[in-house]
Chains A and B, each alone.
Chain A
């Protein structure tokens, strides 16, 4: 099971965090800080796994973004890499050649995408097209609501 998934930039800025286990906020912040420091100092020729506390950390860099997840000791590290890759592929399909800015400005969409791929730290959908279809359907449902909000905003005088 994946315990948490983090996305952060090469400058060490957190871009996304998804925790599947309850930890105090302080503890989460500490883990994030430590892991960013460890991973950013690792050289590119090093392997993508490291041991951290009682977990294994699997990370991979895509352009300026690091994708990093923590799995249990007996889990499959190579598959975790595949899960990360699948997430990147999905983002790429959705945004059309995704870049860090897409994830920054549409962070909520990145969360929705992750939530269609994983649930409780386990892969829930193994087909890319199923995930994308679910996301599209929800976008359409949201658009209806969005137009209504715009109407209200204009009414109130902000546009």
Chain B
């Protein structure tokens, strides 16, 4: 018979273990003992063993062999057994379905127990380990408990219902009608359960929102009662009556009021009351205020109320409690991009003060908010503060600032000088965190600012002299030195050419730089070989390069060999090859960001100019009152003569049958999409040919900017039921005075019942009536067929 000790003794022993190994040993021994005792089925000491297991489990050891023991304890009649049994089930049970099923049955039985505390235990455990399946099995029983005579059970049942609905929204129907009853309960716990249940139903099943909105007036009344109660010792927390209930009601009101004007209006009053009357001296009052602010911001509350909310957050920012400052910054950050932005700008100085906060998470939030607050008018002051923060900020924050700062700087820079100086400052303070893509855009910026080249080169030279370990700084600096480093030799303090070269040479020897930075340095030296004047220095550069022709680094060696050859055999080319880099035509992130970004945002900003012409074509189309008839095939009528005639005079463009080049393909694709859209409304399409298993149709699109030209989309359809057409070749000729351009077809194979497309552009400057001769050939079932036709039934709109 194994000896048996109390739980406390075991805990004492485990705590006395000096090493982890000793502890493990002890636990293993104890577990073995527990298993033995459990197998003896001593019902009266089972709960002690399970309790020990629970302690062992908390230490991180496996204890799942106790699961079944917990279920046995639950079915015992002793209350202590039940308590430990339920506690054990809620801790040890995992997703094992079979155990869940057993537990579901025990819980179901327990709901009818005479003691409210036993029912309570079952509900508490259910709240912890509820799965969607258990929810489905027990939802009716839980709903019945809403009418239990003890509020102790009612409140627990309400919260279990919350969990059931949040696991499976389909079950919301069972509980929807009970919300009202729960809200009218006298017990605060039950009311809170009702509020939570209502909230979760709204979240899971928005279609029930309308039904639940009937409760708004009742909730407002509840809120008012809570505010007016001055003496409630049971629920008072530092002068606030039941803050837990208040916050939950406010959350529910927010869910109900969102997007509904009537209910929003009915809660405006009470929100204003909470906002003005709650004591903000303690955390608990601020918790309520914070929830009120969130509700005001999220429902369409009236403007005055929103300003009040922003001002509460402004006061929060001045609070001595760091937690309150943190939530204020977080909430402001959420609403800064809404209509409340201007109201938030008023608290800018307070936000700036938070940049100096000792708590890094607050500084981080404050920086985020600062970025959001940057406008054209305040960028200078805000950037001064952010730069000051950078000086002392930890790396993580520097990294965040650097990766976010360039966009606002480019967008709002008041002057080029400021722009250049700010970027130089950033390189100096946190240059190590600049990303590769930012390196390129900084280089582009510096290159474009020719008048600041002396300043830039001087500052960057200094930066590299001070710290040559940061790749981005070195890359930007040496690029600039190579491009306009000669400016250093002509300004004060004067730097000798030799000095520049020896600095760059040192960089080449540095072990801290990666090969990318060294290639930058190489290029820089090479460029300086045509910028500097003294021959001795040029020889020096040659020497340095020559040293690297045997370098281990493939990229460096490649460059060294190339450049040395350039010196030896193609010296006459060197000056031209190494001319100044042409200024980049900036696309987005660079100097002219503002203009291009306008284009990006408004791609139609050239459209107004074209409008009148579009109107013309539209009028032209609407002009003729009777629609153009669409005759069918026109071939067969002495086509041969005409063909000769046209062939003699007009150009014939056979289509090529090679694989389409990507670009062309894309063009035609783009062309086609517009074509389809337009022709369907403007110009009627025609059937140009329909015979011998082939049907060719033309659809048209006029070019609004050039009335003399239009596009034809040729569609050739294989009308046979099963036979494939291959080697389809389509040619077209137009009379003199016309010009025709043909794109490649999308395929030369037409499967049965399918079609291919080909685009043509016709230039018709004289606006003569359009005629066209078409000729095509294809192979079908191994035989080649050829045919031709004249097309003259073009719609009149094309020549109008």
Contacts and interface: CB of A to CB of B under 8 A. Distances in A.
Given A50-B361, A123-B244, A153 B79 contact: no
Contact of B152 (A18, A77, A78, A134): A134
A108 B291 contact: no
Interface string B264-291: 0000000000000000000110110011
Interface string B301-337: 0000000000000000000001111110000000000
Contact of A107 (B54, B80, B129, B163): B54
A112 interface: yes
Contacts of B290: 76, 78
B391 to A, nearest CB: 20
Contact of B51 (A20, A108, A127, A130): A108
A82 B248 CA distance: 13
Contact of B361 (A15, A47, A122): A47
Contact of B192 (A49, A104, A121, A126): A126
Contacts of A129: 234
A19 interface: yes
B123 interface: yes
B128 interface: yes
Contacts of A81: 283, 287, 323
A45 B234 CA distance: 33
A112 B58 CA distance: 16
B65 to A, nearest CB: 14
Interface string A25-68: 10001000000000000000111111000000000000000000
B58 A17 contact: yes
A152 interface: yes
Contacts of B130: 120
Contacts of A48: 322-323
A112 B44 CA distance: 21
A50 B322 CA distance: 13
Contacts of A121: 127
Given A76-B247, A122-B162, A115 B78 contact: no
What band does the interface of chain B fall in when counting residues whose beta carbon is under 8 Å from A? 35 or more
Given A124-B155, A141-B115, A142-B83, A18 B359 contact: no
A124 B60 contact: no
A14 B294 CA distance: 34
A47 B8 CA distance: 37
B366 interface: no
B189 interface: yes
A101 to B, nearest CB: 9
Nearest to B151: A130
Interface residues of A, number: 58
A107 B45 CA distance: 18
A21 to B, nearest CB: 9
Contact of A45 (B45, B152, B358): B358
A119 B327 contact: no
A24 B96 CA distance: 11
Given A47-B322, A78-B286, A81-B323, A124 B235 contact: no
A50 to B, nearest CB: 7
B360 interface: yes
A124 B192 contact: yes
A122 B80 CA distance: 25
Interface string B79-97: 1110110010001001100
Contacts, number: 176
Interface in A84-142: 104-105, 107-108, 111-112, 115, 119-130, 134, 137-138, 141-142
A24 B64 CA distance: 13
B242 interface: yes
B325 A47 contact: yes
B45 to A, nearest CB: 7
B512 interface: no
Contacts of B8: 105
A104 to B, nearest CB: 6
Contacts of B3: 158
Contacts of B452: none
A17 to B, nearest CB: 7
Contacts of A115: 87, 124
B58 A78 contact: no
B327 A19 contact: no
Counting chain B CB atoms within 10 Å of each CB, which of A17, A25, A50, A82 scores highest?
A82
Given A49-B361, A126-B188, A25 B94 contact: yes
Contacts of B248: 123
A45 B4 CA distance: 48
A79 B237 CA distance: 12
A82 B45 contact: no
A141 B44 CA distance: 16
A152 B193 CA distance: 42
Contact of A49 (B59, B83, B87, B326): B326
Contacts of A82: 237, 243-244, 283-284, 287
B566 interface: no
B44 A148 contact: yes
Given A22-B95, A76-B247, A128-B234, 12 more contacts: A20-B127, A48-B323, A77-B326, A78-B286, A78-B324, A81-B287, A108-B87, A115-B124, A119-B155, A120-B163, A123-B248, A158-B3
24 contacts: A14-B58, A17-B58, A45-B358, A45-B359, A46-B360, A76-B251, A77-B327, A78-B327, A79-B244, A81-B323, A83-B244, A107-B54, A111-B87, A112-B83, A122-B159, A122-B196, A124-B159, A126-B189, A130-B189, A130-B234, A144-B79, A148-B78, A156-B4, A158-B3
Interface of B: 3-5, 8, 11, 15, 42, 44-45, 47-48, 51, 54-55, 58-60, 78-81, 83-84, 87, 91, 94-95, 115, 117, 120, 123-124, 127-131, 152, 155-156, 159-160, 162-163, 166, 188-189, 192-193, 196, 234-235, 237, 242-245, 247-248, 251, 283-284, 286-287, 290-291, 294, 322-327, 358-362
Query: Closest 4 A-B residue pairs measured CB to CB?
Result: A120-B127, A78-B287, A145-B80, A120-B163
